[in-house]
Amino acid sequence: MILFIKHIDIEGPGTIGDFLEDNKISYTIVDLSNKDNLPELKKTFQMVVSLGGPMNVYEEEKYPFLAEENVFLKEVIKKDIPFLGVCLGAQLMVKASGGTVSKNPKKEIGFYTVSIDEEGLKDNVFKNFPREITVYQWHGDTFNIPEGGKKIATSELCENQAVKYGRNIYGIQFHVEVTRDMIAEWAEAYEGELESLKGIVAGKQKMLEDYDNLKGEYLKQAERFYVNLFSSANLLKRKSYSLP
């Protein structure tokens, strides 16, 4: 059983959920924005995935569930439970492991190039990946590398794009899970942010066009990442994946 932690209704598992369903791996979702409670960490949870959201990790007064998740993730880290943090989820993991989260010099919204460094290329999660990959981004904050962690990917505008902590705990600043519908929905929900950055970051139409052009390779890249991630956590014996 895999536990997904959602922070807003429109940022769900996406293609991660598709992959798990194709491979008959069970998962459950708690939506903290819907006042769901975090469960006790039992042996039935073989992995935890914390997803994205528009809030910042330091907005605990506005979003009290962030403080609750911080305590929960400290326990995940202490027990060395396999973990993936995506965007906000990665920042929350870094904070729980003693690192810091702050404003990035520039916002990244749209498709960007990320470079996997030497540590990353040696790591199981990026096995058989090229040195440079195209990823989808939507973030204004960044994290440092906590003591005991390793940086495994970087980019021109954001130094720390992926981090590994412990044996099987990962945080990625970018999104591997997005679908075309998710991009369209985010662009509408966060229209004000896009308008404030007009001419600086990609708009809705450009992002959708880029997705259409990149879709085939992007989904194969996501599949490769999921195979590596869930195999490393001993959750995947034989893979089956139907591209949406």
85 in Cβ contact with 50 (< 8 Å): yes
| DSSP string computed for 3-16 | EEEESSTT---THH
Q: What is the CA radius of gyration of the chain?
A: 17
User: Whole-angstrom distance between the N-terminal and C-terminal Cα of the chain?
Assistant: 23
Task: Determine whether 215 is exposed, middle or buried from the number of CB atoms within 10 Å of its CB (0-12, 13-18, 19+).
Answer: middle
Q: Which of 7, 87, 108, 158 is catalytic?
A: 87
| DSSP H/E element including 229 | helix 204-232
| DSSP H/E element including 126 | none
Does 177 qualify as catalytic in the annotation? yes
* Sheet strands side by side (includes 2-6): 27-31, 2-6, 47-50, 83-86, 169-172, 162-165, 149-154, 101-116, 132-143
Does 61 qualify as catalytic in the annotation? no
Does 7 qualify as catalytic in the annotation? no
Q: Which of 11, 69, 158, 175 is catalytic?
A: 175
Active site residues: 87, 175, 177
